[in-house]
A and B are shown apart, each in its own frame.
Chain A
Amino acid sequence: MQLFLQILLVITSLLLVLLVLLHRAKGGGLSSLFGGGMQSSLSGSSVAEKNLDRLTLFVGAVWTICIVGLGLLMKVA
């Protein structure tokens, strides 16, 4: 069980990094911290972006469950 969770966790972690990097870069990073930070909010998100969001959310949920599960296993052990 623990091994399975660990493997799943590693896989989802790598996926998560990949998925987040696939997202369109929004805002100018820190450069939009002040002044003219509003212009980016006007562009709507495309369908691909929406699906990517959903996929990221799903993988993120699995990731979280794995972490919590491993934590619980460790507490029991």
Chain B
Amino acid sequence: MLSAFRSALATPDLRRKILFTLMIVVVYRIGATLPAPGVSYPRVQQCISGVQNEGIYALLNLFSGGAMLQLAVFALGIMPYITASIIVQLLTVVIPKFEALKKEGQSGQSKLTQYTRYLTIALAVLQATGIVAMADRGQLFSDCKDSAGNPMDIIPGDSWVTLAMIVIVMTAGTSVIMWLGELITERGIGNGMSLLIFLNIAARIPAEGGAILQNQGGLVFAVVCVFGLLIIASVVFVEQGQRRIPVQYAKRMIGRRMYGGTSTYLPLKVNQAGVIPVIFASSLLYLPDLISRLAGQTGWFAEFVSKYVTDQSSWVHILGYFALIIFFTYFYITITFDVNERADEMKKFGGFIPGIRPGRPTAEYLKFVLGRITLPGSIYLGIIAILPNFFLSVTQQGQNQNFPFGGTAVLIMVGVGLETVRQIETQLVQRRYEGFLR
């Protein structure tokens, strides 16, 4: 393990990439703590200390790494980008033009990405307006009162100019985050966007762990740690699991050279969709909350939302989350793993699965196997994600989906971590060094 670290840093190419990624991480974290202009930093800090562990803010804070409540420059985090990509992905099923673009390959894909980016900015403006309006009206910290008993004035000079400026700055911050993510994807290690999500979650671990240690005592803390490690181990175990479908390639003579004749396998992972379904499901669940906040937290809709959707110990929330995860797992796999395309490709290069004819029967077989293997995969994703909702109510922790040792957070962290390590691995293999994973 240590030697792998050394060889990773000894490779100049890889070292540059890792350092570049670290640099962007530093920039990102600075932006996440830098308060937006016009926001009174000491007052916000005072309010946060009282409010941090409340359930309503859990999801809001999960994807922004605490930056949201601080009204930082990067307050929105990558949430707008995630929402935008979900919308665009869903639209590929609905709008024929998008579907055509998606089938077009690389160029169409980049066009879709461009649409996603425009949509991100639009969503960022919306969300920033929402947050700033909430903060200005004192709804963001509704329990936080100053000495006179009035709601704390977080944005002191609240002329509309100041408010508009904060919205513009937050929007620009979101676009900067988008750019940072793309820079990591392009020149660093791993996928930028998921790495930034990873960061946001990881940034909260020390604070959350400290809170548990302080409030519950050492024993609970130890139990929670052991639980966390167990969950991480099981996640890694399932994440690495795959079914290998044997593929035999026919021998071919091209000129005087002999090609093919090898037998390989097509790996189908148990959890083919990775962490995407979890990210999608949790950000979809967060949308109604946001809408009800923008609408002003009154009426039957807001009541319904706060009673069933936001409350993480309610059965509606748990079941809805579970169902959404299973749906998105299947949805994402059908989008990204096109069985017909795979079968065609195999046929083109003279490969076949032993015992199954090439072409359509192969596609059907792949679909069958994929459908079967995805079912336990999706159920596993769902169970891991809703686990903290069960066992944390035992420890009186109540609603804490973003609790860093269980559920969504662990899934995302382990998934992204594995993905990133795998990328370092491929880079190392290029240089024939021994990697991290054996």
**A, B assembled together:** yes
Q: Which residues on A are within 8 Å of B, measured CB to CB? A: 6, 9-10, 12-14, 16-17, 20-21, 23-35, 37-38, 40-41, 45, 56, 60, 63-64, 66-68, 70-71, 74-75
In chain B, positions 384-438 with a C-beta closer than 8 Å to chain A are 415, 419, 423, 426
A49 to B273, CA, bound (A): 32
Using A20-B176, A21-B118, A33-B194 as known contacts, say yes or no to A70 and B168 having CB atoms under 8 A apart: no
Instruction: Give me 14 other A-B pairs in contact (C-beta within 8 A), A21-B118, A30-B85, A70-B38 excluded.
Output: A16-B175, A17-B172, A25-B110, A25-B113, A25-B116, A27-B182, A28-B113, A30-B82, A30-B193, A32-B185, A33-B276, A33-B419, A70-B37, A71-B41
Using A31-B109, A33-B275 as known contacts, say yes or no to A13 and B172 having CB atoms under 8 A apart: yes
20 A-B contacts (beta carbon < 8 Å): A13-B169, A16-B172, A17-B121, A23-B179, A24-B110, A25-B114, A28-B113, A30-B193, A31-B85, A34-B275, A37-B185, A37-B423, A45-B186, A63-B172, A64-B34, A67-B34, A67-B169, A70-B38, A71-B34, A74-B38
Residues of A contacting B340 in the complex (Cβ-Cβ under 8 angstroms): none
Using A21-B118, A33-B193, A67-B37 as known contacts, say yes or no to A27 and B113 having CB atoms under 8 A apart: yes
A16 to B279, CA, bound (A): 27
A17 to B37, CA, bound (A): 18
B416 to chain A, nearest CB (A): 8
B42 to chain A, nearest CB (A): 9
A24 to chain B, nearest CB (A): 7
A12 to B335, CA, bound (A): 39
Residue of B nearest to A16 (CB): B172
Interface string of B154-187 (1 = CB under 8 A from A): 0000000100010011011001101100100111
A12 to B182, CA, bound (A): 20
Total chain B interface residues with beta-carbon distance under 8 A: 52
Residue of A nearest to B82 (CB): A30
Residues of B contacting A23 in the complex (Cβ-Cβ under 8 angstroms): 179, 182
Residues of B contacting A37 in the complex (Cβ-Cβ under 8 angstroms): 185, 191, 419, 423
- Do A10 and B182 have beta carbons less than 8 Å apart? no
B201 to chain A, nearest CB (A): 15
Judge if B150 is at the interface, Cβ distance under 8 Å: no
Residues of B contacting A27 in the complex (Cβ-Cβ under 8 angstroms): 113, 182, 185-186, 191-192
A interface secondary structure, majority: helix
A-B contact count (CB 8 A): 126
- Do A25 and B117 have beta carbons less than 8 Å apart? yes
Judge if B89 is at the interface, Cβ distance under 8 Å: yes
A8 to chain B, nearest CB (A): 11
- Do B276 and A30 have beta carbons less than 8 Å apart? yes
Judge if B135 is at the interface, Cβ distance under 8 Å: no
Say which residue of B117, B279, B419 sits within 8 Å of A21 (CB atoms): B117
B236 to chain A, nearest CB (A): 15
- Do A35 and B423 have beta carbons less than 8 Å apart? no
Say which residue of B37, B276, B423 sits within 8 Å of A9 (CB atoms): B37
Residue among A14, A17, A32 having the largest count of chain B Cβ atoms under 10 Å: A17
Say which residue of A17, A29, A31, A38 sits within 8 Å of B175 (CB atoms): A17
Residue among B35, B113, B171, B415 having the largest count of chain A Cβ atoms under 10 Å: B113
A45 to B336, CA, bound (A): 27
Residues of B contacting A32 in the complex (Cβ-Cβ under 8 angstroms): 185, 191
A48 to B186, CA, bound (A): 16
Judge if B36 is at the interface, Cβ distance under 8 Å: yes
In chain B, positions 341-400 with a C-beta closer than 8 Å to chain A are none
Residue of B nearest to A32 (CB): B191
Using A20-B175, A21-B121 as known contacts, say yes or no to A34 and B419 having CB atoms under 8 A apart: yes
Judge if B73 is at the interface, Cβ distance under 8 Å: yes
Using A10-B165, A38-B426, A40-B185 as known contacts, say yes or no to A74 and B37 having CB atoms under 8 A apart: yes
A34 to chain B, nearest CB (A): 4
A60 to B74, CA, bound (A): 13
Residues of B contacting A63 in the complex (Cβ-Cβ under 8 angstroms): 172
